[in-house]
Structure 1
Amino acid sequence: MTAANAGGPRDPQAYVLGNRELWECWTPLKAASAQYDLDGFRSGGSRMRALECAEVGPVRGRSLLHLQCHVGVDTLSWARLGARVTGVDFSSEGVATARSLAADIDPTAVFVEADVLDLPAHLDGTYDIVYTSHGVLGWLPDLTRWAEVVAHFTAPGGFVYVFESHPAAWMLDNRGQEPRLRLRYSYFGEAEPLSFEYRSPIAVPDQQVPGVEYAWGHSLGDVVSALAAAGMRIEFLHEWPFVAWRLLPFMEQDADGWWRLPEGLPAMPLSFSLRASKPPA
């Protein structure tokens, strides 16, 4: 895991395109895996966690835009809770999988293939709720533009809800199996992303495909300040001692499905949730 600028600065879009190509390859393998269990999802139920549902509030009859929706499982979980949903992802394979799920679950769901930062060129209208979550902001090279897009699509009186891994958690070294907290990465992001070399984390070892992902660091202040500058009013910012996936090898999963540090390690923020509203017209 290294900085990606060994050969000199590159256009951020080159890294975005590299990520997209990697996910075009990985997504069909992930979608077919037992880890994703898409057939089980088709049979019913919502995969939204109770905490997120409580903080977002009732969604029945409300329009919801899900940014960076991957294969649409969370998007369609909101649909099963009563929302009128639109999902957006930059991967054509992800959008194709989401549309296939929607055909069986909610044919009114809309899925759009687009880079989030260019979304106004591909989608019209505004939404009561803009939603984004779980390991997505690091894919974006420009949070200022992201916040402008969020504000653009949030209807007056509506809000954005973000549930994301905490920037402090991304400082930790994730290479060791022993339960130790060691700092490895800077808290503050830079123009050049970090590169991560690993195999696609799917359940079929002989189908794993090696690749390089690029990720940009964004501090908590970056997120809050970008939304505030775009005209959004921060309603709350909560920090949590758990995260939605096994961010470190020695994490333990609790009864609610969250991943936590094992007993004996100091408590620290591993994720955060934020809600920001757009003033009424």
Structure 2
Amino acid sequence: MKAANAGGSRDPKAYVLGNRELWEQWTPLKAASAQYDLAGFRSGGSRMRALERAEVGAVHGRSLLHLQCHVGVDTLSWARLGARVTGVDFSSEGVATARSLAADIDPTAVFVEADVLDLPAHLDGTYDIVYTSHGVLGWLPDLNRWAEVVAHFTAPGGFVYVFESHPAAWMLDNHVQEPRLKLRYSYFGEEKPLAFEYRSPTAVPDRQISGAEHVWGHSLGDVISALAGAGLRIEFLHEWPFVGWRLLPFMEQGADGWWRLPEGLPAMPLSFSLRASRPPDKPAEERSGPQSDGE
């Protein structure tokens, strides 16, 4: 896999459309793979990790919006835990697969095909919980706009929960096969995305898809500042020495499903989780301030 900064002065939307075309090719391959095991998922159970369940808390009876939901497995895992769910993805193939799963698992689940940054034009209402996770922020060219959308859909008194790979981990050279940490990419994002050519889906490594994916780097400060700037209050930020997939060739998977660096390498953050809340609306009398009696 070859990486380079994307050249030219293309509009970010052109890169997003190119990424969408790539996902339209990837998604059917992933959905049919043993790694995804959608037939097994249909038969029951939740694939939501215990750590995320603990940090999000009880979801029974609460409305949950899942941004960049892919084929809806995590979305429907929350549904099986009692949430009223809506999932959003820009891939028509992903949304079609999610709707097919929902027909067998939770017919009340709603799946919307839309670019997250344009979502207010495609979806109404607010949600108790806005959820996003596992390798999604790099597909977004504008994190401030993303945070505005998140805040727009978070109900007063509700919160957003993010579980994502750590920006520091994305600095590492994923071409190195032996257990050695080598820096390759900048920590700080640039206006132009990185282009990765001829990338195979991780679930189907033997299938090569002709084309390029374009991803944007976002620092941890970018994420926090964007959410705070949109009016959300950061409740916690946790950094973790594991990640949800094999980010580097020599990572090892534990019994808990997380991927870690092998023993002997220095510990470093590989993922992070954060929760940010929208303050409740103030009562009308409090918003208007003390009333004068006219004297």
- What range is the shorter-chain TM-score in? over 0.9
What is residue 16 of structure 2 aligned with on the other side? 16
- How far did residue 254 of structure 1 move? 0.6
The alignment of Structure 1 onto Structure 2 pairs a total of residues equal to 280
For the aligned residues, what is the CA RMSD?
1.4
SS of the equivalent of 1:4 reads: strand
Alpha-carbon distance change, 186 to 180 in structure 1, aligned in 2, over 3 angstroms: same
**Unpaired runs of 5+ in structure 1?**
none
Q: Classify the secondary structure of the residue corresponding to 2:125.
A: coil
Q: Quick one: structure 1 residues 100 and 179, their matched pair in 2 at CA, closer, same or farther if it must change by over 3 Å? A: same
Other-structure match for 1:140 = 140
| CA shift for structure 1 position 241 | 0.1
Residues of 2 paired with 1:35 and 1:211: CA distance? 23
Q: TM-score, normalised by structure 1?
A: 0.97
- 1:144–1:204: structure 2 CA closer, same or farther, 3 Å change rule? closer
CA displacement 1:207-227 (0-9 Å, x = unmatched): 442331110000000000000
Q: Check whether the contact 1:3–1:192 (CA below 8 A) recurs between aligned residues.
A: no
Q: How far apart in 2 are the matches of 1:248 and 1:202?
A: 11
Secondary structure of residue in 2 paired with 1:13:
helix
CA drift at 1:199: 3.5
Unmatched segments (≥5 aa) in structure 2: 281-295
Segments of 4+ moved more than 4 angstroms: 1-6, 202-207
* Mapped contact 1:138–1:216 kept (Cα < 8 A): yes
Once the two structures are superposed, what CA deviation does each residue of 1:98-132 show, in whole Å capped at 9, x if it has no partner? 00000000000000000000000000000000000
Match of 2:74 in 1: 74
Cα distance in 1, alignment partners of residues 18 and 271 from structure 2: 27
Deviation, structure 1 residue 134? 0.1
Shift of the 226–202 alpha-carbon distance from structure 1 to 2, 3 Å rule, reads: closer
- The 1:161/1:204 distance shift into structure 2, 3 A limit, reads closer
SS of corresponding position for 2:135: coil
* Matched residue SS, 1:205: coil
Give CA deviations for 1:16-36 in whole Å, capped at 9, x if unaligned. Answer: 000000000110111011111
1:47-106 per-residue CA deviation (whole Å, 9 max, x = no partner) reads: 000000000000000000000000000000000000000000000000000000000000
Contact 1:20 1:90 (8 Å CA) reproduced: yes
| Contact 1:35/1:202 (8 A) holds in 2 | no
Conservation of the 8 A alpha-carbon contact between 1:29 and 1:202: no
Q: In the TM superposition, what whole-angstrom CA distance separates every residue of 1:170-212 from its partner, at most 9, and x where no partner exists?
A: 0000001100000000000001000112332366666442331
Instruction: Give 1:6 deviation, angstroms.
Output: 5.4
218 and 205 in structure 1: CA distance in 2 versus 1, 3 angstrom threshold = closer
Q: Quickly say closer, same or farther: Cα 1:137–1:161, change in 2 above 3 A.
A: same
